Chain A
Amino acid sequence: MKNTLTLKKFIGSLVLLSCLSPVIASANAEERGLEIATEADRRDTGFVDSTAQMVMELKNKQGQSSSRQVRSKILEVTGDGDKSLSIFDTPADIKGTASLNYSHSLKPDEQWLYLPALKRVKRISSKNKSGPFMGSEFAYEDISSQEIEKYTYKYIKDETLNGIDCFVVERYPAYKHSGYTRQVAWINKQEYRAEKIDFYDRKNTLLKTLTYTGYQQYLQKFWRADVMHMVNHQTGKSTTLTWSDYKFKTGLTDKNFSRNSLKRAK
């Protein structure tokens, strides 16, 4: 009982404090945050489609590692989330397994899984946004299409990160079932691409940090990082995604992302 009272007092003082800062400033911070996100999205619009290869290296606290190879195809959908197809080449026991995702900003994604041993296409529940992708430190929500409407934003400050001038922007998931209360992103001021993201869990404790390295520009417009490194501060595990063989505007169409296409994705 005593604890509750102290907590109430504490929260009360927080509320008071926040009242002291001008309301207009906070509205501006939100507008500024959204502006940055909108500009980043604008600069990444128009890639039409892309394909790439990815190697995923999982490391546990003891330094033991295992790897997965995934081929990915993405079709840009204007006005909605993208369509994506991932085909697993290793581990060998799941070779040929493929997943198809129609992502949406706020309503739940549509997801299918193809199980090659049974030749079965399964529609799966999309609730598991916070769960690990392939046993890695990347959650499904980390690798899914990042639409503006998926978050609300707040500009925090400018900061130099490893010599790069960045905006620091907080974003708060607006979709259901996220594993995060917030994410803090360092956005490159010049190129409007993410350099680093801190993820805070449901208890608002720092959970993971994602860093992007080896950015390359494709078609003189689109920036893609060769390496995405995610460290889980709470478990000591980490996952490194190494991307290669990026191709854009390859002529993929809806046909390549149909439910039927899963069965011929090899």
Chain B
Amino acid sequence: MDLIIMHLKRTWIYTIKPISSLLSFSLLGLLSFQLHADWSGNVTMQDRYFIDDALITNSEQHDNYLSLSSEVEFYSAWDNDESSITITPFLRIDQHDEERTHGDLREMYYQQTFDTWELRLGISKVYWGVTESQHLVDVINQTDSIESTDGEDKLGQPMIKASFERDWGTVDVFVLPYFRERTFQGIEGRPRTPLVVDTDQVSYESSDEEQNIDYALRWFHFIGDLEIGLSYFNGTSREPLLKPGNSNGPAVLTPHYPLMQQAGVDAQLTTEEWLWKLEVIARDWQTFDTSGTQLIDQNFIALTGGFEYTFVGIADSDADLGLVTEYLYDDRNKQASSFFQNDMLVALRLAMNDAESSEALLGVIYDLDYQEYLISLEASRRFADSWTATLEVRTFNKIDNDSLLNSIAKDDFIQLDIAYHF
């Protein structure tokens, strides 16, 4: 009973027929419309526990981090749902890391659907791509990297987006008038880079700095079992270069955002039990030379490709078991700004298909050159209708002393999220 009342409270459907009922013959009758307004969201308690003591050089770090977050979405639509507004604020409060205590407007946009195209104005999120281990072609939104280690949380991006659906595919045109800086952990944050990234000392290649106007274009189509996307981006790179800072205070890293052009291809072939996936990018930008002081032009290619195979109804049960394998390549080798220059992902995805939507994903990313490997486990289920529990375990193994990952070698952690959804 309580549940029903809650559902009723949450969804209001107003039928507003102003004046029209009085002047039903007149033109004003055309103004009659139905407004639909809806609230939803979650409040999440998170505890992240680090198994080992922090590195001596990171003495400000802690072993246990408790935090509370909330994301609320307000959505209102009218005119047969052809016009809508979406507002999604997000807030996290972290026990120790003052940078992780942060808020963001994930979305605040107006959308209008016309007969042959669609317009979106405001702050929004878009996703491009098909692979699981990393998202190379997905470059519109900045990563909210203090949220999670997998890089899947994104900051809201101001945009004008026009979308055209035709028989030969969908074309999205983006104008991105404002740049969002990547978030970084504070001095007490964990895991983080060995030196704290001081976002106050940011620099840009563009003289317009964060007001540089970026452009992007994407064509997407599916032909039977094949889905294919082509994308082009011209503007400030979402990925920063980090260089030692020269402020008067303690040694820090400072982010530098170069301009870049990036072309991307993403494709997926879906047969009955196989999904074949590929993402390839070519990027042209500036990076630091080996001395780490001089900016030089750089072109590189990176790709992620692989497959997912699903065993349906394993052992006469309702459960599905998926095997995911992806190869990650970057032609910059060790100069790669990502860790994945010649790596392999092997993962098992278990979906119980039960009433609680119990799921688990166990994955290993193995570096074929340096033998480092990351293990990650994510498991989640629903309970009592409105709650979910999510367990996450990440371990970093066989990390070399001179590895990019050295500063997180001792940062294996277990994390539990308990979320209430409304």
Query: Does the CB pair B320–A94 fall under 8 Å?
Result: no
Q: Would you list 21 pairs from A and B whose C-beta atoms are within 8 A, ordered by A residue?
A: A66-B355, A69-B7, A90-B7, A92-B385, A93-B388, A94-B357, A118-B152, A123-B270, A123-B275, A125-B273, A125-B274, A126-B270, A126-B272, A132-B354, A135-B357, A177-B272, A177-B312, A179-B313, A258-B170, A260-B163, A264-B118
B residues near A94, Cβ cutoff 8 Å = 357
A residues near B127, Cβ cutoff 8 Å = 118-121
When A89-B11, A91-B386, A119-B126 are in contact, do A125 and B270 touch as well, CB less than 8 Å? Answer: yes
Main secondary structure of the interface of B (DSSP, over half): strand
A residues near B353, Cβ cutoff 8 Å = 131-132, 135
Q: Which residue of chain B lies nearest to A111 when distances are taken between CB atoms in the complex?
A: B270
Q: A130-B313, A259-B222 are in contact. List 13 more A-B contacts (CB 8 A).
A: A66-B355, A69-B7, A89-B11, A90-B7, A91-B385, A92-B386, A124-B270, A125-B271, A127-B312, A130-B312, A136-B355, A255-B165, A266-B75
CA gap between A126 and B227 in the complex, in Å: 15
Query: Does the CB pair A127–B355 fall under 8 Å?
Result: no
Minimal beta-carbon separation of B111 from chain A (angstroms): 7
CA gap between A265 and B227 in the complex, in Å: 21
Query: Does the CB pair A128–B312 fall under 8 Å?
Result: yes
When A131-B318, A135-B357 are in contact, do A95 and B272 touch as well, CB less than 8 Å? Answer: no
Within A65-93, the residues touching B (CB, 8 Å) are 66-67, 69, 89-93
Minimal beta-carbon separation of A263 from chain B (angstroms): 9
Within B254-289, the residues touching A (CB, 8 Å) are 268, 270-275
CA gap between A128 and B270 in the complex, in Å: 13
Does A233 sit within 8 A of B, measured CB to CB? no
Query: Does the CB pair A128–B310 fall under 8 Å?
Result: yes
A residues near B7, Cβ cutoff 8 Å = 69, 90
CA gap between A130 and B163 in the complex, in Å: 36
CA gap between A126 and B273 in the complex, in Å: 8
Does A33 sit within 8 A of B, measured CB to CB? no
Does A9 sit within 8 A of B, measured CB to CB? no
Query: Does the CB pair A135–B38 fall under 8 Å?
Result: no
When A66-B385, A91-B421, A132-B318 are in contact, do A127 and B310 touch as well, CB less than 8 Å? Answer: yes
B residues near A125, Cβ cutoff 8 Å = 270-275, 310
Task: Pick from B40, B170, B275, B320 the residue with the most CB of A within 10 Å.
Answer: B40
Query: Does the CB pair B318–A93 fall under 8 Å?
Result: no
Cross-chain contact of A93 among B84, B165, B220, B382 (Cβ < 8 A)? B382
CA gap between A126 and B354 in the complex, in Å: 19
Query: Does the CB pair A93–B272 fall under 8 Å?
Result: no
Does A108 sit within 8 A of B, measured CB to CB? yes
Q: How many residues of A contact B (CB 8 A)?
A: 39
Query: Does the CB pair B77–A266 fall under 8 Å?
Result: yes
Minimal beta-carbon separation of B374 from chain A (angstroms): 20
B residues near A95, Cβ cutoff 8 Å = 40, 421
Query: Does the CB pair A131–B312 fall under 8 Å?
Result: yes
Q: Which residue of chain B lies nearest to A129 when distances are taken between CB atoms in the complex?
A: B312
Interface string of A241-256 (1 = CB under 8 A from B): 0000000000000010
Query: Does the CB pair A91–B273 fall under 8 Å?
Result: no
Minimal beta-carbon separation of B322 from chain A (angstroms): 9
Q: Which residue of chain A lies nearest to B421 when distances are taken between CB atoms in the complex?
A: A92
Minimal beta-carbon separation of B359 from chain A (angstroms): 11
Query: Does the CB pair B272–A92 fall under 8 Å?
Result: no
Does B180 sit within 8 A of A, measured CB to CB? no
Does A50 sit within 8 A of B, measured CB to CB? no
Does B155 sit within 8 A of A, measured CB to CB? no
Does B22 sit within 8 A of A, measured CB to CB? no
Does A58 sit within 8 A of B, measured CB to CB? yes
Which 7 A-B residue pairings sit nearest by Cβ, starting from the closest?
A: A92-B421, A135-B355, A127-B272, A93-B421, A120-B127, A119-B127, A132-B353
B residues near A266, Cβ cutoff 8 Å = 38, 75, 77, 81, 84
Interface string of A88-128 (1 = CB under 8 A from B): 01111111100000000000101000000011110111111
Minimal beta-carbon separation of A240 from chain B (angstroms): 13
Does B125 sit within 8 A of A, measured CB to CB? yes
Does B315 sit within 8 A of A, measured CB to CB? no
A residues near B313, Cβ cutoff 8 Å = 128, 130-131, 179
Minimal beta-carbon separation of A120 from chain B (angstroms): 4
CA gap between A66 and B357 in the complex, in Å: 12
Does A144 sit within 8 A of B, measured CB to CB? no
B residues near A177, Cβ cutoff 8 Å = 272, 312
CA gap between A69 and B11 in the complex, in Å: 12
A residues near B222, Cβ cutoff 8 Å = 110, 123, 259
Does B30 sit within 8 A of A, measured CB to CB? no
Q: Which residue of chain B lies nearest to A95 when distances are taken between CB atoms in the complex?
A: B40
Does B104 sit within 8 A of A, measured CB to CB? no
B residues near A131, Cβ cutoff 8 Å = 312-313, 318, 320, 353
Does A181 sit within 8 A of B, measured CB to CB? no
Does A176 sit within 8 A of B, measured CB to CB? yes
A residues near B152, Cβ cutoff 8 Å = 118
Does A211 sit within 8 A of B, measured CB to CB? no
CA gap between A90 and B170 in the complex, in Å: 30
Minimal beta-carbon separation of A124 from chain B (angstroms): 8
Does A60 sit within 8 A of B, measured CB to CB? yes
CA gap between A90 and B386 in the complex, in Å: 9
B residues near A126, Cβ cutoff 8 Å = 270, 272
Minimal beta-carbon separation of B268 from chain A (angstroms): 6
CA gap between A89 and B274 in the complex, in Å: 30
Cross-chain contact of B3 among A67, A118, A258 (Cβ < 8 A)? A67
Within B13-49, the residues touching A (CB, 8 Å) are 38, 40, 42
CA gap between A58 and B354 in the complex, in Å: 10
